[in-house]
Amino acid sequence: MSTQLPAPARTGPAPALLPLRPPRPAAHGARLAAVDALRLLAALAVAAYHYLGTPTSDFWGRFDLPQALPVLHRISSYGWLGVEAFFLLSGFAICMSCWGRTPAQFAVSRVTRLFPLYWAVVALILGSGAVAALGGLEPSIPTDLRTSLGNLTMMPGPLGLEATDGVAWTLWVEARFYLLMAVLMLVGLTYRRTIAFCFLWLTLAAIGRELHSAVLEEILLPRYAGLFVAGIALYLMYRFGPNLMLWLLTGFAWCYTLTLLGERVAEHAVPADRGDSPGWAVCAALLTAFLAALALAGPGPLGRLRWRTLVYAGALTYPFYLVHQSLGIPVARGVIKVAPGLGLLPAVLAGLLFSLLLSAALHHVVDRRLAVRLRHRLTASLDPPPPDRLLPATGRT
């Protein structure tokens, strides 16, 4: 009989899951300047697509984009990838926002971040439509009460309404991602559970596509799941350090993303008489470059940047995203009508400048004042009232 003692049972985490450094302390107020810079880059890319990349021939009236600005038009035709970049960034930022918070605290942070600015922009759009109607012009959006009220919920599409702000469809995608993260928070947000959640999400999303299930499509967001998961994996690298498991998760999510990217490329195909359509290979390369930039900006060396200018620019991204299309483009079109000899590019720059100035005003008035007050009130509402303010118990009759 052998006298060798049995090896002690392993009680620690599996090697592939072992973080390479201690977890970073939770700091909800801290901002990663390089990530904010990427957020601004994504917003500018989307704006470039809406202003200069659209293939519609009559978008700017007498100006034909492929002929008036051929180089800028060709480059801007890839700007829709900024939406994909936003979802990637959201996976990183929302996972950071969830960590160390309760589901209720997370809900308050999201509501106060998104809704006050969104309500303000919807009010401005409706106000501009009312002014246009008073001037004898037909508003470009419906301004009836039913549509307006439905848009205030940020869910006009599911309610069967036309969006007051055309970019609101991405907010509905984000809202469903927040719901999935809230479910994970209810289970318990830990390192291992987050990894398991990500792999399970991608697997179920693929099953939903195979089954052609409309319900699973709505809940699991299969077209964008890989982008969110890749962002989550990069945040876990930022917080716990990179390791083999997290790189495998990122690679799995990215293979999933690039496979489905072809559907989005097909949606942005250009009519044959309007030029060349964006190619999948170029789109995949651009999006992968953005993933690499986020890896440098978060867990990588650029994560140490603390430039206030970039942080401020990142704070303007959300209001700029909301106003650049529905309010900025009408301004640019107005410049063309008032000064037809000025040219297309100055009019576009005027629309962008107006959008940036309006974004700064909204940030200072709404985000830094009204939203902060709302956040404080809602946070206070999470706690039960003191005993002396409770109603006396009464017996049933």
Q: Which residue has the tokens 């206070």?
A: 380
Does any domain span residue 8? no
Provide the pLDDT for residue 143: 77
Mean pLDDT of 88-117: 95
Q: pLDDT digit string (tens) for 335-363?
A: 988 887 888 999 999 999 999 999 999 99
Does any domain span residue 133? yes
Which residues form the domain of 308? 27-381
Does any domain span residue 386? no
Tell me how far apart the alpha carbons of residues 357 and 331 are, in angstroms, rounded to a whole number. Answer: 13
Query: What is the number of domains present in the chain?
Result: 1
Query: Structure pTM?
Result: 0.88
Provide the pLDDT for residue 58: 64
Does any domain span residue 389? no
Q: pLDDT digit string (tens) for 159-169?
A: 999 999 989 89
In 99-190, alpha helices (H):
103-134, 145-152, 168-187
| Cβ(205)–Cβ(240) below 8 Å | no
Ordered DSSP codes for 325-382 = IIIIHHHHHHHHHH-GGG-HHHHHHHHHHHHHHHHHHHIIIIIIIIHHHHHHHHHHHT
Mean confidence (pLDDT) of the chain: 86
Mean pLDDT of 171-176: 95
Does any domain span residue 359? yes
Instruction: For residue 217, give both structure tokens.
Output: 């499509």
Tell me how far apart the alpha carbons of residues 337 and 360 are, in angstroms, rounded to a whole number. Answer: 26
Does any domain span residue 14? no
Pick 130 or 74 by higher pLDDT: 74
Provide the pLDDT for residue 80: 95
Q: pLDDT digit string (tens) for 204-245?
A: 999 999 999 999 999 999 999 999 999 999 999 999 999 999
How many other CB atoms are found less than 10 A from the CB of residue 127? 11
Q: pLDDT digit string (tens) for 178-193?
A: 999 999 999 999 999 9
